[in-house]
A and B are shown apart, each in its own frame.
Chain A
């Protein structure tokens, strides 16, 4: 074959593969990344409607497991090929905003009023909102009443840390089970579990003026208490994270542990379970960690307005309600204010009260520029206390300094 012929054939083949690409370039393809193992039907419905009502718009929807989803979104954005929008943890927002990778979001006063108290704090940095909150969770204490009663105790809500400790000790003394499940693994929800206690003890991580407020007597009390729980907790606390404790609870190995509202549905039906607010510490009242995941719109996709429109549609009242209801999440909006009736959380008020009543006294997951360091700082402090490698004073002081560096 002569070079001319080879070149001609090659050019034809290349041209035929390139033509569809040129044709596609006239359409708008939105790249949407959803962190999690699946796309929830409530979101899929909104996206399908959006595509149907916008000519020439297609959505490349990608579901990425949490373990590497946020890294993927950030890396794509840093490499100059950002997704149009992504559903990810709100804790990443400050880092994204600081590096000008996402666009700010503006809510009307009416929209802001509709959110549960504290929700907007989880997406606000420097007086500006940077994401549309899309999933909200608060935490409460689950009790295995069968185990507690087998230990000779009455299955009722421990009001304080002392009550909880005494109950856990009674379970340890009178059964083969551990009193409480404690998370200590190098994992984000170890920090989350700790923050549930910290916010129930009047503690803070970031003060209202934006400075680090971790170095406080409340934090020291909380860390000391958290470490003391190890004596009544499951064996090998440092290898456990919260979600794995569902198995321990179902297996009758622990009498109590803290989880979100979805925990109820994951427990064995034969377990006589009860859910109660997180007990109050000596310096505070019962509280919870307010944690959200948000939809963020990335800078540089070329169709930011369109992405913002889709994000707004996914987080609008009806669509958001469908998601909260189907997923069993703490309601992110005060739906009664939006005129909704027959609310799912009103059908079982005793259960949902434990997750909603503590919202006003809860605290947000802190927004830190280097959000990975946030987890590392807390886990290091908690593991140090559990392993008794340093004094509580030192551990808290070091953590506060490291947090200030990462701020």
Chain B
């Protein structure tokens, strides 16, 4: 409690100081000249930047540095000692970890690919001039609006072999001989998780693509139509290039989100069966939080950061090339 009081006091004093300083810099203050003399302009600028810099340092820089430091230790519940690069060597030598990396990238590319394709199709359909278009646009939203945990638990029930909707429907139409447990097989569990992730992620991508499509200049379509261009040609040569920056941006963001997607897999399968749906983030959680091996978990987290940073750099490089190809500045 005392520590909390001190914190509040510090915040209050800081706030008071900033308020007074800001008032000093305000053009409507009659004492402007006097106050400016007290605090030079450059100092004042740094002073205003300080809270943001402290915020970034505390929220981003410190955890990152601490994670990197921890990754060189064997930290667990009982304490920590320096182990050098042993955690990283263990990871590189682990066949299971390499399998997890492969699974993660397969999961990411498949899921993001499907989301982009379905998002593009959905956006085209919603962009079409059909009656009740507003209603259809609203109907796209629920998977994204529903809290992920609730939506995924719904899917968990649907995937159940005995009491699930999908298995029941499959049996009725003769697809399955008996109950089919989607989450019980390695392959079916993986693709079931992908389907759920696509269900959750597609609506947002659809809406972004839709917004981008609505921003395309109509004159381009009319000119192309006058020249005899067909629908597919107009889509390929006008729509796609015009919305390419949005496509690439969404692909990158979606890739990062999917790479780090935790809740969907954890609720559905906890990474099983036998690691079939264990991605890097699930593995990191299990090691660091589940087994309290903070050092080993931190090494995994650092690997994730490096992989994502590399992937992002590569992606931005490709984006630049693609934009040049399509003439987008």
Residues of chain A at the chain B interface (Cβ within 8 Å):
3, 6-7, 10-11, 14, 17-18, 21-22, 24-25, 71, 74, 77-78, 95, 98-101, 184-186, 234-239, 247-248, 251, 253, 370, 372-373, 376, 379-380, 383-384, 387, 389
Q: Give A370 to B293 CA distance when docked, in angstroms.
A: 9
**Is A389 in contact with B274, judged by CB distance below 8 angstroms?**
yes
Smallest Cβ distance from B218 to chain A, in angstroms?
A: 52
Given A21-B1, A373-B291, A387-B274, also A238-B77 (CB < 8 A): no
Q: Give A380 to B270 CA distance when docked, in angstroms.
A: 13
Contacts A/B (CB < 8 Å), 30 sampled: A3-B20, A7-B13, A11-B9, A14-B8, A14-B12, A17-B5, A17-B8, A18-B1, A22-B1, A101-B77, A186-B269, A234-B161, A234-B179, A235-B161, A235-B178, A238-B184, A238-B272, A238-B273, A239-B159, A239-B161, A248-B162, A251-B162, A253-B162, A372-B286, A372-B292, A373-B291, A376-B286, A380-B275, A383-B273, A383-B274
- B40 close to A (CB within 8 Å): no
Given A71-B289, A74-B292, A380-B274, also A238-B8 (CB < 8 A): no
**Is A384 in contact with B162, judged by CB distance below 8 angstroms?**
no
- B16 close to A (CB within 8 Å): yes
Chain B residues whose C-beta falls within 8 Å of the C-beta of A184 in the assembled complex? 184, 273
**Is A239 in contact with B77, judged by CB distance below 8 angstroms?**
no
Q: Give A24 to B8 CA distance when docked, in angstroms.
A: 19
Within 8 A of A (CB), among B150-175: 159-163
Task: Kindly list 16 other residue pairs between chains A and B, CB separation below 8 angstroms, not including A24-B1, A100-B78.
Answer: A10-B16, A11-B9, A17-B8, A21-B1, A21-B2, A22-B1, A74-B292, A184-B184, A185-B272, A235-B162, A236-B161, A236-B183, A236-B184, A238-B184, A239-B183, A383-B272
Chain A residues whose C-beta falls within 8 Å of the C-beta of B250 in the assembled complex? none
Q: Which A-chain residue is minimally distant from B9 (CB atoms)?
A: A14
**Is A387 in contact with B9, judged by CB distance below 8 angstroms?**
no
Q: Which B-chain residue is minimally distant from A2 (CB atoms)?
A: B20
**Is A78 in contact with B16, judged by CB distance below 8 angstroms?**
no
Contact with A along B223-257 (1 / 0, CB 8 A): 00000000000000000000000000000000000
**Is B186 in contact with A372, judged by CB distance below 8 angstroms?**
no
Chain B residues whose C-beta falls within 8 Å of the C-beta of A253 in the assembled complex? 162
Select the residue from B182, B185, B292 with max chain A CB neighbours within 10 A: B292
Given A186-B272, A370-B291, A383-B273, also A236-B180 (CB < 8 A): yes
Chain B residues whose C-beta falls within 8 Å of the C-beta of A237 in the assembled complex? 184
Smallest Cβ distance from A368 to chain B, in angstroms?
A: 11
**Is B181 in contact with A239, judged by CB distance below 8 angstroms?**
yes
Smallest Cβ distance from B81 to chain A, in angstroms?
A: 14
Contact with A along B211-228 (1 / 0, CB 8 A): 000000000000000000
Chain B residues whose C-beta falls within 8 Å of the C-beta of A6 in the assembled complex? 16
Chain B residues whose C-beta falls within 8 Å of the C-beta of A3 in the assembled complex? 16, 20
Smallest Cβ distance from B181 to chain A, in angstroms?
A: 2
**Is A239 in contact with B184, judged by CB distance below 8 angstroms?**
yes
- B271 close to A (CB within 8 Å): yes
Q: Which B-chain residue is minimally distant from A95 (CB atoms)?
A: B77
Smallest Cβ distance from A182 to chain B, in angstroms?
A: 11
Chain A residues whose C-beta falls within 8 Å of the C-beta of B20 in the assembled complex? 3
Q: Give A247 to B157 CA distance when docked, in angstroms.
A: 14
Chain B residues whose C-beta falls within 8 Å of the C-beta of A22 in the assembled complex? 1
- B142 close to A (CB within 8 Å): no
Q: Which A-chain residue is minimally distant from B159 (CB atoms)?
A: A239
Q: Give A77 to B269 CA distance when docked, in angstroms.
A: 29
Chain B residues whose C-beta falls within 8 Å of the C-beta of A95 in the assembled complex? 77, 292
Q: Give A99 to B80 CA distance when docked, in angstroms.
A: 12
**Is B184 in contact with A18, judged by CB distance below 8 angstroms?**
no
Chain B residues whose C-beta falls within 8 Å of the C-beta of A380 in the assembled complex? 274-275
Q: Give A204 to B13 CA distance when docked, in angstroms.
A: 64
Q: Give A380 to B9 CA distance when docked, in angstroms.
A: 53
Point out the residue from A18, A74, A101, A238 that lies within 8 Å of B185, measured CB to CB.
A238
- B84 close to A (CB within 8 Å): no
Q: Give A99 to B293 CA distance when docked, in angstroms.
A: 13
Point out the residue from B77, B160, B180, B273 that lies within 8 Å of A186, measured CB to CB.
B273
Smallest Cβ distance from A375 to chain B, in angstroms?
A: 9
Q: Give A18 to B1 CA distance when docked, in angstroms.
A: 7
- B290 close to A (CB within 8 Å): yes
**Is A384 in contact with B274, judged by CB distance below 8 angstroms?**
yes
Chain B residues whose C-beta falls within 8 Å of the C-beta of A21 in the assembled complex? 1-2, 5
Given A21-B2, A372-B290, also A235-B181 (CB < 8 A): yes
**Is A78 in contact with B292, judged by CB distance below 8 angstroms?**
yes
Q: Give A49 to B186 CA distance when docked, in angstroms.
A: 53
Smallest Cβ distance from A145 to chain B, in angstroms?
A: 21
Given A18-B1, A185-B272, A186-B270, also A239-B9 (CB < 8 A): no
Q: Give A370 to B286 CA distance when docked, in angstroms.
A: 12
Chain B residues whose C-beta falls within 8 Å of the C-beta of A251 in the assembled complex? 162
Chain A residues whose C-beta falls within 8 Å of the C-beta of B272 in the assembled complex? 185-186, 238, 379, 383
